[in-house]
Amino acid sequence: MIRRPNQTRTIILLVAPAFVFVLVFFVLPLIFLLSQSVLPEEGGFTLTGYLDFFQSRVSRIVYLRTLKLGLIVTGISVVMSYPAAFVLARMPARRRSFLMSLVILPLMTNAVARTFAWLIILGRRGMINQTLLSLELVENPLRFIFTETAIVLGLTQLFLPLMVLPLVSAMENIPNDVLEAARSLGANRLTTFVRIVVPLSSDGLVLGATLVFTGSVTAFVTPAILGGSRLLLMSTLLRQKAVIIFDQHAAAVVAVVMIATTLGVNLLLRVARVQHS
């Protein structure tokens, strides 16, 4: 390691340009946002914005719906990824790296394109309705778009890779010997999976769950396309307050509640990790 008398000066010079950029263009706007949420245009400090938010039935429903859908998406992602991630982690390296590149492909495509597919699948004349109609299971097309199911499907497809990636990298580190030991000592597959694989991959699980949950509760494109103004989530509510109702004070409150939610989840994760280790 480099030790020099003017080390602090060097560090400051290296860090300063980007640091000032983030401070001025990122931290200051957030402080301004915070002040907007407690200082309405009429002047004076007030917390009525927050009281209004939590007392209003509509915004309470929207907030709880957002959290609920976030939890459902996280749960589905865990169930869908866990066994599959295990298969991926046990694969020969070449095949795994090919399959992993397919997992990150959806992450690398814009959310509008990915969500659009669900309009084709779930639409009035979409894949599911046409199948149901041709099998004569229903007489009229069912409405899937603008439902919670549609949003859950869209969000799960969007964020599933964020669960698979940390799980696979946690499971790669489980030595084969440990699994063989468990098996040779009489544990069946299910017991080995539940008692050995799950505890040893819990770090990946917690990280993946945090990424999926915070992604889901803050995503905009999916609820905008599949929920619209009929089924608002926090992000679409923020946009509605800011652009359509044009109430910047109320919009700032929604924004701060969104930040508090994601920071709260990340803080919980940090506490859980400290206790874990």
Q: Does 192 bind another protein (CB under 8 A)?
A: yes
Tallying the residues shown for the chain, one arrives at 277
Query: Hunting for tokens 């694989």 — which residue is that?
Result: 197
Q: Which of 225, 231, 232, 250 binds another protein (CB under 8 A)?
A: 225
Cα 129 to Cα 65: distance, rounded to the nearest angstrom: 26
How far are the Cα atoms of 87, 227, 273 from residue 231, in angstroms, in the given order?
Answer: 37, 5, 35
Report, in Å, the least distance between residue 266 CB and another protein. Answer: 6
**Contact, 156 vs 73, CB < 8 A?**
yes
Q: Does 206 bind another protein (CB under 8 A)?
A: no
Q: Does 274 bind another protein (CB under 8 A)?
A: no
Q: Which of residues 37-76 bind another protein (CB under 8 A)?
A: none
| CB of 125 or CB of 276, closer to another protein | 125
Report, in Å, the least distance between residue 55 CB and another protein. Answer: 22
Q: Which of 59, 66, 74, 156 binds another protein (CB under 8 A)?
A: 156
The site map against another protein for 227-246 (x = CB under 8 A) is --------x--xx--x----
The site map against another protein for 123-152 (x = CB under 8 A) is x-xxx--x----------------------
**Contact, 216 vs 155, CB < 8 A?**
yes
Q: Which amino acid, 64?
A: L
Torsion of CA 179, 181, 182, 184, to 10 degrees: 120
Stretch that binds another protein, among 24-32, 44-52, 57-65, 200-208 (CB under 8 A): 24-32
Query: Hunting for tokens 């959310």 — which residue is that?
Result: 111
